[in-house]
Amino acid sequence: MTNPINTLIKNDTIMFEYDVHDMRRAVAWYKDVLGFEVIFAGGDCHTEFALPVKGARLALSWVEPDAKIEKAARLFIRTPDIYAVEAYLQGKGVKTKPVENVDNVVLILWVEDSEGNHFAFEQWLARS
């Protein structure tokens, strides 16, 4: 029997995210040094690259110059129905934070695994 969560995860869509202080410098580095292709450019706030694995993306998100940059990537899994994912996970006793609406562009649901690691499900509102 298939796990019901599998119907709520879009195939071939996984994203890793890094915080950056200088978006232009970081974008240039990933383009020029690694040859990554920009697939979404959100100005100086957010840029996404295709990774050399089908459906995998790398996102760079700008943070204030004095903000601490986390030294670990964050995992995002895309879903077409974030509230169904939230209900399913909470039904399994999984710790979640409330769904966050980021500028009416994306909904994010942060989840905590059994070891206290955090990752997120995302539902894009403004693009597929």
pLDDT digits (tens, 9 = 90+) for 82-96: 999 999 989 888 889
Distance CA 93, CA 14 (A): 24
The mean per-residue pLDDT over the stretch 28-56 comes to 89
Angle made by CA atoms 48, 126, 79, in degrees to the nearest 5: 75
Instruction: Note the pTM of the prediction, 2 decimals.
Output: 0.67
Alpha helices in the chain (DSSP H): 23-32, 82-91
**Among 79, 75, 70, which residue's Cα sits nearest to residue 106?**
79
**Beta strands in the chain, from DSSP E residues, in sequence order:** 14-20, 37-42, 46-50, 56-62, 74-78, 95-96, 100-102, 106-112, 118-124
Residue 4 has pLDDT above 70, yes or no: yes
Q: CATH for 4-124? A: 3.10.180.10
Residue-level pLDDT at 107? 97
pLDDT at 77 over 90: no
For the cut 60, the answer to whether the pLDDT of residue 128 exceeds it is no
Q: Is the pLDDT of residue 41 over 90?
A: yes
Partners of 95 in the β-ladder: 112
